[in-house]
Amino acid sequence: MSKQLVKDIKPGEEVRSVFFTRRKEIRKTRRGDPYIFLELSDRSGSVEGKIWDEVARYKDSFAERDFVAVSGRASVYQDQLQLEIKTIRRCREEEVDPEWFLRKTEADLVELEEYLRLRVSEIRNRHLRQLLQVLLDDEELMRSMRSAPAAKSYHHPYLGGLMEHTAAVVRVCERVCDLYPDVDRDLLTAAAFLHDIGKVQELEFDKSILYSDEGRFLGHLVLGDEMVRERIRKIPDFPPELEMRLRHAILSHHGELEWGSPKQPMTLEALILHHVDNLDAKINSFLEVTERRAEGDGRWTDMRNLFKRPLYVPKAINQEMELPLEEEGLL
């Protein structure tokens, strides 16, 4: 069976493809008739699916987190694309290509890790340097960090996204320190390196990007804090105040209580980390939305995005040819 990506499905099209089952629920219509609601996904996105007929036949034939072969028709309901499914079955292993379901970063992960290792080696505070070196020497942890996405769907939602995001946050924080000499560079670098480390436990990413039970119950802020505390306990004479300031930056980096932060930033380093983290996440999300739109016509996206407003697609992203300067008579 050939693969139709979610992003390429158009209303009215017949669909015959393999998808990952993110959600499966038995629901009832207003008349009380049962139907099966599905969230189906691949590396390009997700789409709702509904099985109206033969519910008894299909309700136990596959489960959440199965790969399924689907045939049906695409339609639009309340401005949202959905699949009206005629047949569905659990896939055989040989029918599934993992590359259909998990995107990978285009960044050079080896280069990004080398950059992080270099920055750690330049930290003058021996306690912070030792803490980060312990993490760098943990090959299992670093393997997870190289593989993990940074989020399920919000920003950097692809394999290697965590390493890409972490390196970007460290790099921007380094520039901020160049501009503001009162910042504790070592503390900010360490906090930037560690701020999302809990995501290696929060997310599962073997078939699709999903939250683990730990991730749902605790979240990556708490999980990351626990990981850092566990390593600090093994470092003799780690200064208590330094530990509190580092953990505060990690726990407060979402910035606001309504954004899941247990505390708001109360140190300069925590404040900077919050804004840099948010900046890199928002830029990545913006580019994800506009680059998808660049594959079609038009200069504006729709409103179905993180920002809940139309976003402008620049010419450069829309792949419009720009004249060389000499042809424009500027050289």
- Cβ atoms within 10 Å of 31's Cβ, excluding its own: 5
Q: What is the pLDDT of residue 152?
A: 85
Q: What is the pLDDT of residue 208?
A: 81
Q: Where are the beta strands (DSSP E) in the chain?
A: 14-28, 34-42, 45-51, 67-77, 80-90, 203-204, 210-211
Q: What is the pLDDT of residue 102?
A: 85
Which tokens belong to 331? 């050289």
Cα distance between the two ends of the chain: 54
Contacts of 224 (CB under 8 A, 6+ apart): 194, 195, 196, 197, 198, 199, 250
Element (H, E) at 172: helix 161-179
List beta partners, residue 21: 40
pTM, full prediction: 0.79
Q: Please, what are the domains in the chain?
A: 6-98 (2.40.50.140), 109-286 (1.10.3210)
- If we measure between CA atoms, which residue out of 281, 272, 267, 285 comes closest to residue 192? 272
The residue assigned the tokens 């991730």 is 215
Q: What is the pLDDT of residue 299?
A: 84
Q: What is the pLDDT of residue 295?
A: 57
Read off the DSSP letter of residue 90: E
One pLDDT digit (tens) per residue for the chain, 331 residues: 678 999 899 999 999 999 999 999 999 999 999 999 999 999 888 899 999 999 999 999 999 999 999 999 999 988 889 999 999 999 988 888 888 888 899 999 999 999 999 999 999 999 999 999 999 999 999 999 999 999 988 899 899 999 999 999 999 999 999 999 999 999 999 999 999 999 999 999 887 888 999 999 999 999 999 999 999 999 999 999 999 999 999 999 999 988 888 999 999 999 999 999 999 999 999 988 887 665 556 788 888 788 889 889 876 554 544 545 555 554 4
- If we measure between CA atoms, which residue out of 103, 98, 80 comes closest to residue 150? 103
> Distance (Å, rounded) from C-alpha 242 to C-alpha 235?
13
Q: What is the pLDDT of residue 1?
A: 65
Helices vs. strands in the chain: H and E counts, helices first: 11, 7
